[in-house]
Amino acid sequence: MEVPDSMSPNLKRKRGDGGDIDFSLLEALEGSQSAVEVLDLKALKKLILSFERRLKDNIEARLKYPDQPDRFADSEVELHEEIQKLRVLSGSPELYPDLVSLNAVPSILGLLSHENTDIAIDVVHLLQDLTDGDALEDNDEPANALVDALVENNVLELLVQNLQRLSESDPDDMAAVYDTLATVENLIEVKPTVSELVCERTKLLRWLLTKIRAKEFDSNKQYASEILAILLQNSMVNQKKLGQMNGVDVVLQAVAIYKSKDPKTSYEEELLENLFDCLCCLLMPLENKERFVKAEGVELMIIIMKQKKFAYGSAVRALDFAMTRYPPACERFVDVLGLKTAFSAFMGKIPLNKRRKGERSQEELEERIVSLIASLFDGISRGSRRDRLLSKFVENECEKIDRLMELYIRYSDRVKAESERLNQLEHDELEMNEDEIYNRKLESGLYTLQLIAIILGHLWCSEHSGMRARIENLLKLQKLSKKDVMAILQEYHDNIGDLDGPDEKERTQEKIHKFISSLSGKDREQ
């Protein structure tokens, strides 16, 4: 970014032009933040008054000498100093309501549009300090007072407008970009509704998409991916909005860079995980699932799995999101020969990245693969694709049924152990309601156990004699029966919520009831 002629010579930053720039004055001002060691209301009023005076002087000087930068240079430096002094306020968040009542917020925010980019950057750093989590911790009321005032005075619009004029070829501008994103994150932390407000009122989503599309990695690309994930999390409005902006395709392009290579650093790993978080959030609305399939997202995820790179587990997760309650994605998965890759993982042939070793990582992948296969069964109800899916459990002497029962026993034992532990806690007078107990069991593995039982229900309803015999024999070997599977299915049936609507709840309950009826009808001897 070129230095405007109107920029104060004492505030210009070195940009590699070989010119001699005097930083002595700025360096002398660095200690100004500690000028007020103990801040109280009286000291705050003094700071604000001094700031307003310097602001007024600068405005007047610029109006009087618009084409003579040397005539307003001193006022620019003095204004910079006053903004730096205000940063001490972050150590006294209890005074934020007073900052608001003194009507200083509009004046501060107005400087985000200052002709001198350095002054605007000063304000960005100030806002990041004031809204930092450490400053706001245990100060909910003052934090809300400040954030409400900032939002009411268009902080979101002004921050994003300033963001768009920063150049990331300059280190100081890059730092300002980072602090701008940090401020947005801080605002959302205090006031979650900001996540939708900023997307409604500004072009931040567009800026973030442009940033993550860049091929070169830097810390701001990583942070942009994190902010995008935060904006999409728990916001169907933002998910749909980004989908309409070709967001699904852009995120897939960003992910595709890693289809045959691994991230080089832990920071780049975090970028990739953020991108997949974005993708999974985007895949919540039905229309975005359609965009994902059209953009050949299914094929890309299968390629990533086949390459067995760092993103392997994330690709499985994205596929599961895409195929949940969306048959076209399931059908595409079968059509592009994804079954072989999925069942290779199901059989335990899961690559573990050297930087992702550990029992929990292995389990997470297992659980996600089980969920993916359950989604396939739910999405493909008939036809040749269904036959191809079922045939996987017959080949190689029903080895996949053996594997399924192995997982069933493991998760069943884990849930039983957790149930016993919870019963003991009840005896120890630690009261928990039924919902809390059920949620604890889900976290301990009940959810995956339920999915395994659902897959068993699909297999049993196929009426394939070989598969039925294999399932019964394996249950008997463990001194179990179909009634145990039916009990798991019944508990699932009774706890299905209506988050996805009453029609989906009814459809799922009917499916589970069908499994239970089929299992019980062939089990009279028990």
**Above 80 in pLDDT, residue 491?**
yes
Single out the residue of 81, 82, 75 nearest to residue 60, CA to CA: 75
- pLDDT tier, 526 (very low <50, low <70, confident <90, very high otherwise): very low
- pLDDT tier, 121 (very low <50, low <70, confident <90, very high otherwise): very high
Lookup: tokens for 475? 């249950």
Task: Give the pLDDT score at 456.
Answer: 98
Single out the residue of 446, 449, 512, 525 nearest to residue 482, CA to CA: 525
**Above 80 in pLDDT, residue 132?**
yes
Return the number of other C-beta atoms located less than 10 Å from residue 344's C-beta.
Answer: 14
Task: Give the pLDDT score at 35.
Answer: 41
Could you report the per-residue pLDDT of 404-453, keeping only the tens digit for each? 999 999 999 999 999 888 888 765 566 778 888 899 999 999 999 999 99
d(CA 206, CA 200): 12
Beta strands in 363-469 (DSSP E): none
Q: Which ranges constitute the DSSP H helices of 215-348?
A: 219-232, 236-244, 247-256, 266-282, 286-294, 297-307, 312-323, 327-335, 338-346
Residues 6+ away with beta carbon under 8 Å from 133: 186, 189
d(CA 300, CA 462): 31
- Identity at 525, one-letter amino acid code: E
Could you report the per-residue pLDDT of 271-300, keeping only the tens digit for each? 999 999 999 999 999 999 999 999 999 999
Task: Give the pLDDT score at 287.
Answer: 98
For residue 39, give the DSSP letter.
-
Task: Give the pLDDT score at 169.
Answer: 83
Task: Give the pLDDT score at 19.
Answer: 33
Which range has the worst mean pLDDT, 3-12, 150-159, 507-516? 3-12
Give the pLDDT mean for 115-137: 93
Q: Pick the more confident residue, 249 or 8.
A: 249
Q: Cα 431 to the chain's mean position, in Å?
A: 34
**Above 50 in pLDDT, residue 7?**
no
Single out the residue of 125, 129, 116, 112 nearest to residue 163, CA to CA: 112
Contact 60, 74 (CB under 8 A): no
Give the pLDDT mean for 119-147: 93
Which range has the worst mean pLDDT, 36-45, 161-170, 210-219? 36-45
Which range has the worst mean pLDDT, 109-123, 135-149, 180-194, 238-252? 135-149
Same fold yes or no, 36-202 and 204-392:
yes
Which range has the worst mean pLDDT, 68-72, 428-432, 494-498? 428-432
HSE value, Cβ hemisphere, 13 Å, CA-based, for 197: 17
**Above 80 in pLDDT, residue 478?**
yes
Q: Does domain 36-202 have CATH number 1.25.10.10?
A: yes
Q: Which superfamily is assigned to 204-392 in CATH? A: Leucine-rich Repeat Variant (1.25.10.10)
**Above 80 in pLDDT, residue 26?**
no
Round the average pLDDT of the chain to a whole number and report it: 89
**Above 50 in pLDDT, residue 235?**
yes
Cα dihedral sign for 86, 91, 92, 98?
positive
Tell me the angle at which helices 465-477 and 482-494 cross, rounded to the nearest 10 degrees: 100
Residues 6+ away with beta carbon under 8 Å from 401: 393, 459, 467, 470, 471, 474
Task: Give the pLDDT score at 429.
Answer: 60
Domain ranges of the chain: 36-202, 204-392, 399-521
d(CA 51, CA 63): 18
Could you report the per-residue pLDDT of 174-190, keeping only the tens digit for each? 999 999 999 999 999 99
Give the pLDDT mean for 140-167: 96
Could you report the per-residue pLDDT of 358-380, keeping only the tens digit for each? 556 788 899 999 999 999 999 99
Q: Is 103 left (phi over 0), alpha (psi -120 to 50) or beta?
A: left
d(CA 436, CA 2): 60
